Structures are given as structure tokens and as C-alpha cells.
Structure 1
Amino acid sequence: MKEPALADARRVAQQALDLYADDPAAEVIRAFDRRLQGPLRLALAGMIKAGKSTLLNAMLGETIAATDAGECTRVVTWYRRASTPSITLHPHVGEPRRLRFQREDGRVVIDLGSTTAEEVAWIDVGWPSESLRSLILIDTPGIASLSAEVSARATGYLTTKSAASAPDAVIYLMRHLHSSDRNFLESFRDSAMGGSLTVNAVAVLSRADEIGSARIDSLLSAGQVAQRYAADGDLHALVLDVIPVAGLVAETARTLREEEFRSLTAVAGMERTAREKLLLSADRFARPTDAIELSEATRRELLSRFGLYGIRLSAALIRGGATTSTALAEGLLERSGLNTLQAMVRDHFRARADTLKVYGALPGLEEVLRERPRPGSDALLAEIERIFATTHSLRELAALSRTRAGGYALPVARLEEAERIVGGSGAAAQTRLGLADDADGQAVRQRADELLTEWRGLAESPLTERGAVGLCHTVIRSLEQIASQDGRGAVLLMGDDVALSR
């Protein structure tokens, strides 16, 4: 279902294009209009060697993004759906041009020719991938790179206020929680979405298998670390959640080859003591040995593709009954953390894609209109103000962020409930109400009515602080719309006449 405000925002952009047809600002306005028309833009960010490109490949299900230290990892690269593969370089100076590329060992290798990363504004990769049907994935250079210029390029792209090319949401990868991670997320929060406090980021504890020293239970250990990070007061206000992901295992699971399955079956079939000795360390697995018929080159390739954790896990899964490559791939994927991350992207970013696009593009349009006023621009500014003032889904985003930041004087339990009702745990009606996923319409309406009584009483109480009353009204409006639905699917939160504090 479409967010009604998206059509309103597009109408404003089209009217602005007509009004500024003879002005250089028209190209900027046109870029905002493309942002409103296009798929959700989801960027992957993080410090150098955090595993961004590996995770992007896992999300795509193909080894397209460069994962080495070449020139392509130092520029912003967009991945969008296209009928046929094409790669276009957009330089800072000059016209865009097509790039040559080829497959080497299953990976896409892009030839920049004599062009350096410093000369490239961005690279546009069109690819026939179903994973890109409703998303544009954006790979960014490493934050806090050894190259100050590369780091500045990534940070500037992701945190430039009101930019037409900015992402709508971000997956931030970190191996440990450093001050530089907090600093970046604070900058992204304060500049993205038109300077709002909207939570539109999720953190990934990347290379999670390394936390448990590549043990089979490494993801459990990483999950405990991720929970501690998610409960961190500062980080809680900056990201929706922290999810552990073993990116290399996820990438390999999505691209598993039949010959790799046969090699791993040979490892799994070894006598237990010999297998445990072989898998004691990466060095032990790769060194020359007569314990297994697999060549040293094959074992090194397995290490490169799976890592020691992936090989150990694969052997365990095969011994546990994964008798086909498909079954092994599914087992690896389930234990990589990627499914959890993709569910988060689906429930929080895709479900409110229209709202995120409106909230990202309208402030930029507003800035253009204010900086270059002309007869007729005041009417468009008034329309932008009306959209923000009457669209409940936009108010929900603001309430969600302020709630997570501790901006309301209410008991913790009430704040957690409010956060869930306005969509902090997902857009489905059952999720918002804290019900089971299979709860029927009657159960949804009954629970919504119960909560409406409680929150209306809280709003009317003389003991409720004035700022918290505003949150109460937002929660009440969400509950009213849930109660008016049939209780199934995501809730479409229409505009109303209650002003949104921007």
C-alpha cells in the first residue's frame, strides 16, 4: 500500500520543476523527484575492512561487489535492478561512460582504465537481480580509512544534509563499538532525513564468527555482545538494533558451488579425531597433509570462501543431515545472521519506504525553494509544511526516535510500549500490539481497544508531562488506525490534521 504523502510530495516536486524550468536549480529539483520515484536507497557503511562489500554480495546473492583493496572499493557504488548488466562511471568532471567488466573465478572485475578513485563521483551498476527489485543498495568506502580523502568521501556522502543523492536508510557495520562508530552514527542521524532525529539505521556486528574464535557457537557469543551494544544508551538512540552477521558465511551460502559441497562432504566424512586435528586452526587446515585427499590449493580456496568457521559449521551440518548442496546452503544461511538482518530491512525499511523517501526528499526541496525564492515558491513551501503537519507516518518516525533517545517523561515500560505501537519493532498490526503473528482480526481490535483506553487515560491525566501528552496523541492515533483495519498486514498510517513537530 502506498503512503498518500508520497503522491503529494511528487506533486510538489513536479510543480517546482515547472516553476524553476529556466533556473539551474531545476536539475537539483529533478534529482529529488527521481529520489521520490525510485526504490528505497539503502547504504552499507562502516570502517575499512568491516565487511561491507561481502555483506552486499550476500544480500544480492551474487559476488558482484569488489572485496579487495582495489580502486573500486574506494568509491561510492550504486547497485540497481536492470534488465541487462551494465556498469557506468560518473566522473566529477566530464560525461558518464560505460566501463568494461569481466568474470574471474565467479567475481565481477571492473576495469577503471586510467581513471583513479579521486576522479570518480560514483559508479552505477545495473544488474538483473530480483534482490534489487525494490531496493537500491549503495556500497561506500571505509569510514576512518588510512586515506583521509577516502574516509572524507564516504562520510561526506552519507552525512551531507538535504542531498538529493543521499541514502534513505543505512546498515552500519562494525567489528567492535568504537567512538568513531558513535560519531558517524550521530552525524548520520543529525544530517539525514532533513536533519530529523528519525531512527533509520541498523547496526551489524560484522564478521561475528571471529568473536567466538570461529567456534561452532560463535554466533551465540556474538549475539550476546550485540545485545549489550543494543542496550547501550547512546547506541540505542542511534540504531534500531544490533544484529550479528557472519558475512563471509552468508555470501558463500548464497553462492555455494557443487564442487565445494563435495569437498566439504569429504571433510565431514573424516574420522572424528583426524577431522578435529585438521580443523584445529586455519594454518593446520591449509598446510600439506595426507589426512585427506583434498589438495592444498582446494583447501586454501575453501578457507578463502568459507573461513574456518564456515568449514567447521559446514562439516557439522553435513554430519547432521545436510545431504545436498541446497540443504547445506540453507543451513549456513540460517546460522549466518543474514535472514535476521533481511527481516529487519523488510519490516523497518521496506515497510515504510515511501515515508522514508518523503522525509528524505522534502527538506531538500524546501531548502532549494527558500534559497532561491520566486513568485509561486511560497505556495509550494506552504504545501510542504502541510504535508509534514498532516501525515501521521512522519510523526511516528519522529516519536520513535525521540522515544529511543529518552525524550519523554514516562515510565520505561510505557516508553517501550509506545515505541512498539508506533512501529519500532515492525509495521504489522500484530507486532505493534504485542500479539502473536497469527492473531486474528478480532484479537487485534480487542487489544487495540484495550490500549486505546489506557493511552487516552494517560493523555488526560493531569500528572502526565506536557511533552509526553504529545507522544500519547501519536500513540492514540496509531491505535485508532490499527483498530479501523482488519488486523492483517502492515498498517497504512494516513495523514490527519494533528501537527507534527519538526
Structure 2
Amino acid sequence: MGSGPLGARVAALCDEVGPRLGVSLQGQVFGVRRRLDEPLRVAIAGRLKAGKSTLVNALIGRRVAPTEVGECTRVVTQFRYGTTDRVDVVRRDGSRTSLPLDEAGMIPSRLGVARAEIAFVDVTLTSDHLRDLTVVDTPGLGSTNTSVSDGASRFLHGDAVAPYDDDIDADSVGAVSGAEAIVYVFTQAVRDDDVEALEAFRSVSARLASNPINSLGLFNKVDKLVGGPDDPWPVAGPLADGQAAVLRRVVSDVVPVVGLLAETTEAGRLTAADCEALRTLAGLPATERMILLASVDLFTRRDCVVPRAQRERLLRLLDLYGVGFALARFAAAPRLASGDLVRALFQASGFPRLRHTLDQAFRWRTDAIKAGWALSALERIASHAAVPADRELLRDAIERVLQQPEYHRLRLLEVAQLVGTGVVELPEPMEQELSRLALATDPQWILSLPGAGPRELAEAALAAATRWRVYAVAGAGPAQSRVALVAHRGFYLLAQQIRAGAPPEPAPPTVGYGYGGQVR
């Protein structure tokens, strides 16, 4: 996936300035240039046993990442698109050892390289899901192994050095601070240390892109909220909404999912034989089905027409909630096709909403996220330049880009981050208006005037610009004034866009606040 218009302009900056810099800086600038042409990199973070690898498999559409804690779950693993399936164990010195996938098509349980020597595992797969998305599976937080290699640090976040909370696994810190978007996975209710972990991640990677605009909370294993086959969604939905309110300053949204069902359906693990076994179970008397679904022990050990080994497999694939859901479907429609059952299970997993949210919250803003990340990375390179001429050359080029009107969106995203994360406080209506301006391009949605014509929209945009200007000079503190002046110019440019007749883009859902990079 190539760069969008903002990213393309930053790429041109790199092409223009890179060859004129010293040799040591050229490599760093061209590294930024390469990242602009890569798919959006999303890190999956969370604590041990939160179900991260299961969700990684669902995102990839194949069961490749091991879900049991072992050697290969304690290292950063990158999954990206390739023309062949391949596993490379990358050492700290940059050398690689290639391994085949095991008989089950998964990463081998033994990597054949001492853990202390491993920088990361690089997996390329022929999965269409990875064409526009690179997924980084991080070690679980709270791991006893807190060493991170120099090689992994360079790969994931260049030469940046950032402080992090002692409770945060260093490998996870490195991967998250190098990603352009973060999915934080938790189970049951959000704990205080989950909030602390998210706050720590944000502080670690703030200058590289971590904030609510591209951070998503994933409430996994919601089927465990209720007993056995009972429907968890009446509980999970409101609970996720409440947690989204609690985490509003650190994530754009909280999406509840049943990760096991998502993996099973997206990775195509449910076979025709599995569906026929479920159909047979659904044909049993209702009382017998109820007894079987009362507990795991009863489901696997009670005498039944379906062999015990098959029932144990069904539990591994679906757990009691998924089995109960499937039996109810077959009981209601005995001739239901296997494909229709799989699609119904996929819907029951909650994963379609996650896919939609990723598309809307992350991919929709990929260009702005990547451009913001690249500009902040270039600014960091400039600040570490040993030769003053190189430093000024880079900074002058960055400033020229930021003077262009279309790049005001980056400043809008920056100040929206400050407001969304609580650094700068605004009255709630103004905070919401700023969020719409920063996160959308549809004038009707930004101005809350559905169906309005160009003239009415232009007048409303100018009125908003005036309102923010008045607020900036009368009644606002210094930080609020800076935010207000950025919003003022944003609404003024919006009015110009409307008058010029620029076609609006579709508005995304309201999913958060923030900006992916820190630019001046």
C-alpha cells in the first residue's frame, strides 16, 4: 500500500533532502522513506493469557501464531505479507535463520536460536489480510524476561530511547513504540494496572504515534462473563461501553470480542465433520443438550452418540458458548448449511465490529498517522544531528511541508490529542467540535448540518472560525489559546474548501481523539 497525499509529500521531502545529508543521516532518512511505503504497522499488546495470539491469528486469517505460552511467545513477532510463507529468526547482529512452518502450519515451537540472541521473528505469509496491515505480536506484559535486544530496538523504533514503567515488558515497549497503531487486549474488567500499562505505552511512544486516535481497546473472552453457553452480549456490550468511557483518554474505542470464535471462523478451522457432529448433538432431546452444556466435564465425559474425542475438539474450537450457539442454530434449522453456520459464528464472535473499527479508526487515517509519524521521526533525527548544517537542512524542509495548507490537519490532530488526553481542558461542546474537525473531512458532519448546501456550510465554518478566535483572545489560558488558534485556522480553511467546491470524503464514526506525531 503506497503513501497517501500527505505521506507522498513527506516521501518527496526525504528524496529531496536525503542525498544532501551526511552518510550517517542518509540511512536514517531513507529508512523513514521506506516506512512510508509499508502497510500500517499495528502492535497487539496486553498481559499474559489475554488471548493476543488468538486475535493475531484471527486478524491474519490463519492459525500461525502459537497460542500456548512457550519460547516463541516470549519474543516480538512480526507478521507481514509475502509471496511465500517463511519464518526468519533475526539475531541481534542482523543475521537470519530461516525455518519452515511446522506440520500444522504454525511457527515452530523451538526456534533453534538462544533467546538472548534473538532480536525478533519475521514471518511472511501469503495472506490477503496482510496486504495493508503488518501485525506485530508482542510478549505478554508481566513476562519474567525483561531483556530487549539492541537489534529489536533498532528494528522497531530506530534509535529512540524512551523511559517506561518497570512493570512493562521491555520487548513489548519496543514493539509498541515502533508501531503506528496499537490494539491493547484485556479480559474481564479493566484493572488499575491495565490503565497504568496503557498510560505507560502512551508516554513511551507519544512522539512516534501512540494516542487515542490510533489506540484501540479489545475486551477479549467476553463469553467468560456468563456461564457456559449463555449469551454474553447483553452484559458485554454495556460493560465495554463503560470501559470505553473509563479509557477515553487512552483508547479510541473498546470492542468486545470472543477471540476463540474469531480465530476458528477466520482461520477456517471448523471442518465439515465438526459441523456434522454439531448437527447430531443438536438433534438430541432438549433436556440432554441442556445437561451436556451444563459444564465442560459433562460435555466431554457424559455418554453420547458423538465420540468424546470429537466433543473435546469442538470445545477447543468453540468453547461452551460457541457450541451452545451452534446447537441452537441447528436446532432451529436442522438443514442449515455449514457455511451459514460459520458465518453466524463469526458474527457471534464480535469480530466484524473489530474489522470495521480497524478500517475506520486506523486505515481511514493511515495517511495522516504515517505522515505524522514520519515528520516526528525526521524531527528527532534532526535534533540528534551532529552537523549543524544537516540539522538546519532537515528542519527547514520539515517547516516548508508544514506550511502547506493541507498539513494543517496534522496540527489539528496534534491539538485534538492534547485535548482528548486531558492535557488541555476545553468545554465539552468545543472538545467535540474540535474532534470532528480533526478526524473528518465531510463539512456536513463536522458542522453538524446534515443536508446543508455549500453556502450555509461556508457561513457556518466562518462562524465557527470566529467563535474559536474570540475564545483564543478572551477567556482562554495560554494552552487553550494555542489550541483555539489552530481550530480557528482549521475552520477558516474548511470554509475555503467549501467555497472552492472540493468534494468531501465520507465521515468516519466518532471514535476518538489525538494525533499520531508530535510536530511543531
**Short-chain TM bin:** 0.7 to 0.9
Q: Which moved more, 1:114-123 or 1:306-315?
A: 114-123
Deviations 1:342-379 (A, max 9, x none): 11111121111122112223322322233233334412
CA contact (8 A) 1:395 1:474 kept: no
**1:55 CA drift (Å):** 0.5
Give the Cα separation in 1 of the matches to 2:297 and 2:28.
54
Give the Cα separation in 1 of the matches to 2:496 and 2:76.
40
Q: Matched residue of 2:45: which SS?
A: strand
Report the residue type matching 1:385 in the other structure: E
Deviations 1:212-265 (A, max 9, x none): 234432123112111111111xx2111101111110011112223222111111
Q: Confirm whether residue 341 of structure 1 aligns to residue 354 of structure 2.
A: yes
CA gap of 1:113–1:196, structure 2 versus 1, over 3 A, is: closer
Alignment map for 1:62-461 (pairs within 5 Å): 62-104=62-104, 107-110=105-108, 112-149=110-147, 152-158=169-175, 160=177, 166-175=178-187, 176-194=189-207, 198-199=211-212, 200-232=214-246, 235-254=247-266, 255=268, 256-289=270-303, 292-321=304-333, 323-374=336-387, 375-390=389-404, 391-407=407-423, 410-423=426-439, 432=446, 443=452, 445=454, 448-449=457-458, 451-452=460-461, 454-461=463-470
Deviations 1:367-408 (A, max 9, x none): 223323333441221112333454123123213322323455
**1:275 CA drift (Å):** 0.5
**1:81 CA drift (Å):** 1.0
CA gap of 1:475–1:365, structure 2 versus 1, over 3 A, is: closer
Q: Matched residue of 1:351: which SS?
A: helix
Give the Cα separation in 1 of the matches to 2:48 and 2:243.
20
Deviations 1:162-182 (A, max 9, x none): xxxx11001000113123322
CA gap of 1:196–1:42, structure 2 versus 1, over 3 A, is: closer
**1:293 CA drift (Å):** 1.2
CA contact (8 A) 2:76 2:171 kept: yes
Q: How many residues end up aligned between the 2 structures?
A: 475
**1:294 CA drift (Å):** 1.0
Report the residue type matching 2:14 in the other structure: A
Q: Matched residue of 2:103: which SS?
A: strand
CA gap of 1:299–1:432, structure 2 versus 1, over 3 A, is: farther
Q: Confirm whether residue 60 of structure 1 aligns to residue 60 of structure 2.
A: yes
CA contact (8 A) 1:71 1:116 kept: no
Could you say which residue in structure 1 is the equivalent of 2:160? none
Give the Cα separation in 2 of the matches to 1:481 and 1:317.
55
**1:46 CA drift (Å):** 0.5
Q: 1:480 aligns with which of 478, 495, 504?
A: 495
Deviations 1:8-59 (A, max 9, x none): 3223333454234633x44433332221121110111101111111011111
**1:115 CA drift (Å):** 1.1
Q: Which moved more, 1:33-42 or 1:319-328?
A: 319-328
Unaligned runs of 5+ in 2: 149-167, 509-517
Over the residues paired in the alignment, what is the CA RMSD in angstroms? 2.9
Give the Cα separation in 2 of the matches to 1:413 and 1:346.
27
Q: Matched residue of 2:112: which SS?
A: coil
CA gap of 1:48–1:446, structure 2 versus 1, over 3 A, is: farther
CA gap of 1:372–1:408, structure 2 versus 1, over 3 A, is: closer
**1:417 CA drift (Å):** 3.5
**1:486 CA drift (Å):** 3.1
Could you say which residue in structure 2 is the equivalent of 1:32? 32
Q: Which moved more, 1:318-327 or 1:79-88?
A: 318-327
Deviations 1:167-224 (A, max 9, x none): 1001000113123322222232223252667422000111111122344321231121
**1:63 CA drift (Å):** 0.7
Report the residue type matching 1:205 in the other structure: F
Q: Matched residue of 1:102: which SS?
A: coil
Report the residue type matching 2:411 in the other structure: R
**1:90 CA drift (Å):** 0.8
CA contact (8 A) 2:76 2:175 kept: no
Unaligned runs of 5+ in 1: 161-165, 492-499
Q: Matched residue of 1:213: which SS?
A: coil
Give the Cα separation in 1 of the matches to 2:399 and 2:7.
14
Give the Cα separation in 1 of the matches to 2:252 and 2:468.
26
Report the residue type matching 2:218 in the other structure: V
CA gap of 1:4–1:115, structure 2 versus 1, over 3 A, is: same
Could you say which residue in structure 1 is the equivalent of 2:153? none
CA gap of 1:280–1:430, structure 2 versus 1, over 3 A, is: farther
Q: Matched residue of 1:352: which SS?
A: helix
CA gap of 1:409–1:115, structure 2 versus 1, over 3 A, is: closer
Give the Cα separation in 1 of the matches to 2:397 and 2:329.
58
**1:421 CA drift (Å):** 3.5
Q: Matched residue of 1:49: which SS?
A: coil
CA gap of 1:265–1:430, structure 2 versus 1, over 3 A, is: farther
Q: Matched residue of 1:359: which SS?
A: helix
Give the Cα separation in 1 of the matches to 2:21 and 2:400.
21
